Amino acid sequence: MDKKIDITKPSKDYSLIDSGDGEKLEKFGSVILRRPDPQALWKKRLDDKEWKKADAVFERNEAQAEWRYKDNKLEKWPIDFSGLKLYIKPTAFKHTGIFPEQSVNWDWTRDLIIKEKKDNKNDIDVLNLFGYTGGASLVCAQAGAKVVHVDSSKSSITWAKENAEISGLSDKPIRWILEDVRVFVEREIKRGNKYDAIIMDPPSFGHGA
């Protein structure tokens, strides 16, 4: 049986420049970031002078972990990605606010909702658990679904709302719920609430519940 591997294709505002030796080099808009990736077990393709062009490098040692900037500290900047406008922010945990590999899932979800709306014209209710900065929620709302976005991080929900605003989706039917996922789901079961689709992309590690 033929197997298909979905990949994140380079776009105007995102590209994976190189990876290997436990790191990846990416371009978000006009900004190049260099950060660790323990899954990049192969050898780098580009030589060191290309990697040194990074505008910011995430460095981790036994004492601390932090971004080191070539010039000025980078706070946040918008990019166009997967049909959305999203803010990129280098965080203390090396993340940027999006996981680019999710774009193939977002495209699949968007197409599925659009097709269902076209065929049946019914409301589609989506529950996005561990919603983070809102990419999946915004894609669903953009396609015509009603969305309940749940995350236990206030800063992530604030970030997601900012993404909704710059994507022109602030008026879409999205409920932003600041709550522990387990607690929220238990309450929804007791209420008898049901959804047509549930998205779950939990973090591999978190400091919260």
Q: Which residues pair with 195 in a beta bridge?
A: none
* Cα distances (angstroms) measured from residue 41 to each of 7, 19, 38: 18, 9, 7
**DSSP-derived pairing of the beta strands 31-36 and 174-178:** unpaired
User: Hey, what are 50's tokens?
Assistant: 């290309």
Please count the other Cβ atoms lying within 10 Å of the Cβ belonging to residue 58: 21
User: Hey, what are 10's tokens?
Assistant: 């380079």
Dump pLDDT digits (tens) for 21-53. Answer: 999 999 999 999 999 999 999 999 999 999 999
Give the pTM.
Answer: 0.90
| Residues shown for the chain | 209
Tell me the pLDDT of the chain averaged across its residues: 93
Dump pLDDT digits (tens) for 45-98. Answer: 999 999 999 999 999 877 788 999 998 899 999 999 999 999 999 999 899 999
